[in-house]
Amino acid sequence: MELERELTYLRAKVETELERCFTGDKPYRRLSQAMRYSLLAGGKRIRPILTLKFCEAAGGSMEKAMPLALACEMIHTYSLIHDDLPEMDNDDLRRGKPTNHRVFGAGRAVVAGDALQAAAFETALSAPFPPERTVAAAAYLASCAGLNGMCGGQELDTAEESDRSEAGLTLINDLKTGAMLRAACVLGVIAAGGDGGARSAAEAYGLHLARAFQIRDDILDIISTEAELGKPIGSDEANSKPTYASLLGVEAAEAVVRRETQRAKSAVRGAFPDTAFFEELADRLAERRS
């Protein structure tokens, strides 16, 4: 299948670049090891792949966009390390392996996440673009990662007083999950010097893809197994944490996944010369089992 070949090819390119990160023999090498442990733990690498493919779709060079792709994955990895901490979800497994704090201790896990966030911006700012383009990319990444993006979503997700209606859950998901998926898509367009229409299409695709992705995650937490997911299941129910699946029921939640997937696909049609990859990827993620 063409999609599978492309995903495998791009995932391998991203993995090769990630392997080169944080390898020096420093007095603080244990911190580097903690960073690499989570960064190289596998995963779909959807965010960096989206950055590379949107750059290509907007007429740019995937090779030049690689620093931005890596920066997205570093931010994502730091968020997972912190999300697993005892003060957050207190999870023992991530991608089938013990979570970072279980291996390196909670204190070092916090610092590993902090260091990955700093490294993400150092990496993004090394991208070989005109200065104004590089700064625009870094600024967009910061806005999606910070208070008005992923961190704001994390706050709403953990605060007991947060709105847990369907609208409230949508806001949480749009920030916690959606912001960084939008960033991955838009950074690719910025890397290529794409116009406002391409950027808006990438942003809309990322928004709707993220909604479908998170709701599918919620469904899998109910219908999947720990072996399939590589992490504990049923944690949302155990923590009395409402999700789309628990609020609407699995069948209705699946209908929302299909609706948001269709919206993601519609967002890119006409904005780029070839949208087959983005449409097939959206369908694949909507049907995934892990």
Residue 290 has pLDDT above 90, yes or no: no
pLDDT digits (tens, 9 = 90+) for 224-282: 656 555 555 555 555 567 888 888 899 999 999 999 999 999 999 999 999 999 999 99
Question: Residue 84: helix, strand or coil by DSSP?
Answer: coil
Q: Which domains does the chain have, with CATH numbers?
A: 2-286 (1.10.600.10)
| Cβ neighbours around 124 below 10 Å, total | 25
| Long-range contact set of residues 64-67: C-beta below 8 Å, sequence gap at least 24 | 64/127, 64/128, 64/129, 64/191, 65/127, 65/187, 65/188, 65/191, 65/192, 66/13, 66/14, 66/17, 67/123, 67/124, 67/126, 67/127, 67/128
Q: What is the pTM of this model?
A: 0.93
d(CA 31, CA 90) in angstroms, rounded, equals: 21
More confident call, 89 vs 28: 28
| Cβ neighbours around 81 below 10 Å, total | 28
Question: Residue 269: helix, strand or coil by DSSP?
Answer: strand
Torsion of CA 227, 232, 234, 236, to 10 degrees: -140
d(CA 112, CA 36) in angstroms, rounded, equals: 9
DSSP state of 90: -
pLDDT of residue 71: 98
pLDDT digits (tens, 9 = 90+) for 46-89: 999 999 999 999 999 999 999 999 999 999 999 999 999 998 88
Taking residues 182-203, report their average pLDDT. Answer: 97
d(CA 110, CA 210) in angstroms, rounded, equals: 26
Residue 41 burial (CB < 10 Å; 0-12/13-18/19+)? middle
